[in-house]
Amino acid sequence: MDKRKSVQANNKKTTTDKTPDIRKGGKDTAANEQTDVKNKYTDQELEDYARILGINPEDEPGLMWIAKEGLNAPLPEEWKPCQNGEGDVYYFNFKTGK
């Protein structure tokens, strides 16, 4: 599971119709640009993502750039980062509604 899916699974609002509050007039907000959430991850999240990729941050620090690139990679056009009222970021596909 990549970090995006992991973050999405951990922070995603659970609603029966899977529509974020932003589409229902709720408190969630969509980022205007992908750069709104770019580079906003902790060192621990970077290390966790590196481990998901099979990189050992302590033994392979020279490969950490791969994890950084993965976390900073642009999202496909139809996916947008959203933020709930508690400040958690999740990703929503506005084209499919999932």
The per-residue pLDDT for 11 is 44
**pLDDT (tens digit, 0 to 9) for every residue of the chain, 98 residues total?**
444 544 444 444 433 345 555 555 556 666 554 444 456 789 999 999 999 999 999 999 999 999 999 999 988 999 988 888 888 888 899 999 88
Distances (CA, A) of 62 to 45, 67, 69: 17, 11, 13
The per-residue pLDDT for 50 is 96
Under 8 Å between Cβ of 27 and 20: no
Burial of 62 (0-12, 13-18, 19+ CB in 10 A): exposed
Tell me the C-alpha distance between 94 and 78, whole Å.
Answer: 6
Q: Which two tokens stand for residue 19?
A: 């529509």
pTM for this entry: 0.50
The per-residue pLDDT for 24 is 53
Domain ranges of the chain: 3-93
**CA 37, 40, 41: angle at the middle one, nearest 5?**
130
